[in-house]
Amino acid sequence: MSEFLQQLINGLSLGAIYALIALGYTMVYGVLRFINFAHSDVFMVGAFIGYYVGRHLPEGTVWGGLIAMAAAMAGCAVLGIGIERLVYRPLRSGPTLNVLITAIGMSLFLEYSGQLVFGATPRAFPSIFPAKLIEVHGLIVSMNQVIVIVVAAVLMVALEFAVFKTKIGTAMRAVALNPKAAQLVGINIDVVISFTFGLGSALAGAGGVLYALNYPSIDPLMGLVPGLKAFVAAVLGGVGNIPGAALGALILGMVETFVDGSRWSTYKDAIAFATLIGILLFRPAGLLGRFTAEKV
């Protein structure tokens, strides 16, 4: 029983990180109908910003950790907005495929510039938050896991609030529904899209710091695997759907953790992805996605 609960906590903290990355994928897709492959590398940059800022802060304090995270979020938001402004916007009127290929190019650009700037050797991430173990009836939760889960939950609630309760959120949803009509009623699409990229990238930045906190070895290619998993999570939940991305990420984190803990651990990714295929067979639009037939 305690093993089961422990795995539940492990899965929850892994899923929470996937969720933060998945939200960025899903938001951009929801608004622009395009998959931003460079997102996982913005996540990596977030971890490195956290690393450089964290080194100048005293280790193991809550405010220090929050400063490092805020810096990573701000830096990533600027990076995300910059990428959109310089790279994606000039191509927006062209075929979607062009932007998609450009996104892959952007991803490779960030990865290999990262190798040049940061070096390819993994670095040890400072423990910026207080490291403590909390033990309840043989159940052990590390402070980092608590922070990951709490921060992810807070950010997701904040995101839900921003999208549904604020003016810019309403504008975002309007652009997602119909960009041309949104423009006609006076919404500045450019601002909305910049905002979407900024918000999604800030979440990726927070995800990068939280990931690095839990798995303190960071390198320029660290975004690849979690980025792929988060993308899968977004599809699993119904791409374009915010609660869906969170749900998909949670399921993926749980499946991975439980398979790891079983004797089929060699087949972790195979089983995780087979689950994805299984779910998509029965719900082609993802768990919470709505399936709309395209009219020709």
Partner 1 sequence: MLRLSRTLTSIAAAAALSASAEDSIRIGEYACLTGKEASLGMSSHQGTVLAVDHVNEAGGVLGRRLELITEDTQSKPGESSTSVRKLIARDHVVAVLGEVASSRSLEAAPICQAAEIPMISPGSTNPKVTETGDYIFRVCFIDPFQGPVMARFALNRLKARRIAIFSSSTSAYSVGLAKFFKQAFIDGGGEVVAEPRYAEGDKDFKGQLTAIRAAGVDAVFSPGYYNEGALIVKQARELGITVPVFGGDSWEAQSLIDLGGAAVEGAYLCSHYSPDDPSARVQDFVAAYRRRYGGDTPDSNASLGYDSVLVLADAIRRAGSTEHRALRDAIASTRDFDAVTGRITINEKRDASKNAVIIQVRNGRFQFVESVSP
Q: Please give the residue ranges that form the binding site for partner 1 (CB under 8 A).
A: 2-3, 6-7, 10-11, 14, 115, 119-122, 124, 127, 133, 135, 140, 142, 144, 211, 214-217, 219, 222, 225, 256-263, 265-266, 268-269
Closest to partner 1 by CB, 142 vs 170, is 142
What is each CA distance from 196 to 30, 102, 128, 189, 202, in whole angstroms? 10, 18, 28, 10, 10
Q: Are 251 and 15 in contact (CB under 8 A)?
A: yes
- Closest separation in Å from C-beta 36 to partner 1: 23
Q: Please choose, from the candidates 249, 273, 255, 261, the residue with its C-alpha nearest in 3D space to the C-alpha of residue 15.
A: 249
Closest to partner 1 by CB, 179 vs 227, is 227
Give the type of residue at 124.
A
- Closest separation in Å from C-beta 220 to partner 1: 10
- Closest separation in Å from C-beta 293 to partner 1: 39
- Closest separation in Å from C-beta 97 to partner 1: 28
Beta-carbon contacts of 40 under 8 Å, excluding residues fewer than 6 positions away, are 21, 107, 204, 223, 224, 226, 227, 228, 230, 231
Closest to partner 1 by CB, 215 vs 273, is 215
Closest to partner 1 by CB, 45 vs 176, is 45
Beta-carbon contacts of 113 under 8 Å, excluding residues fewer than 6 positions away, are none
- Closest separation in Å from C-beta 248 to partner 1: 17
Closest to partner 1 by CB, 115 vs 183, is 115
Whose structure tokens read 């220090």?
A: 64
Helices (DSSP H) in 88-188: which residue ranges?
Answer: 96-118, 143-165, 167-177, 179-184
